[in-house]
Amino acid sequence: MLTLASEVEVLARFGRALADPIRCRLLLALREAPAHPSDLAERLGISRTRLSNHLACLRDCGLVIGVPVGRRTRYELADPRLAHALDNLRTAVVAVETDRTCTEADEEGCC
């Protein structure tokens, strides 16, 4: 059973992973299907070195895993529930973004 402190730490790690647009795109790509690094780098339009750094971050956060396939490694979400969580989070954020009730959000940069 997770304690409150460990739940907060897990959410903070998830937030750090989502804080970078490339990692967000990477998670969304892996949400659709597992893939090899070369395919992911091409799909995202980034270098393999840059992709490797982002995959390492996501592995350290426990969000993706590498599965050996022969001499190559295929990456996938660490748990199928992450795909559902990403879908729910994405639709919730889009809903909030389209219904901005905070009138000072643009001036204050708070929301």
Q: What pLDDT is recorded for position 1?
A: 54
DSSP 3: -
Averages of pLDDT over runs of 10 residues in the chain (111 residues) are 74 90 96 96 97 95 95 96 91 72 66 58
Q: What is the pTM of this model?
A: 0.79
What gap in Å lies between CA 93 and CA 32, rounded to an integer?
19
What gap in Å lies between CA 10 and CA 16, rounded to an integer?
10
Q: What pLDDT is recorded for position 74?
A: 98
Q: What pLDDT is recorded for position 111?
A: 58
Q: What pLDDT is recorded for position 110?
A: 64
Q: Is 109 helix (H, G, I), strand (E, B) or coil?
A: coil
SS3 of 20-54: CHHHHHHHHHHHHCCECHHHHHHHHCCCHHHHHHH
62: left (phi > 0), else alpha (psi -120 to 50), else beta? left
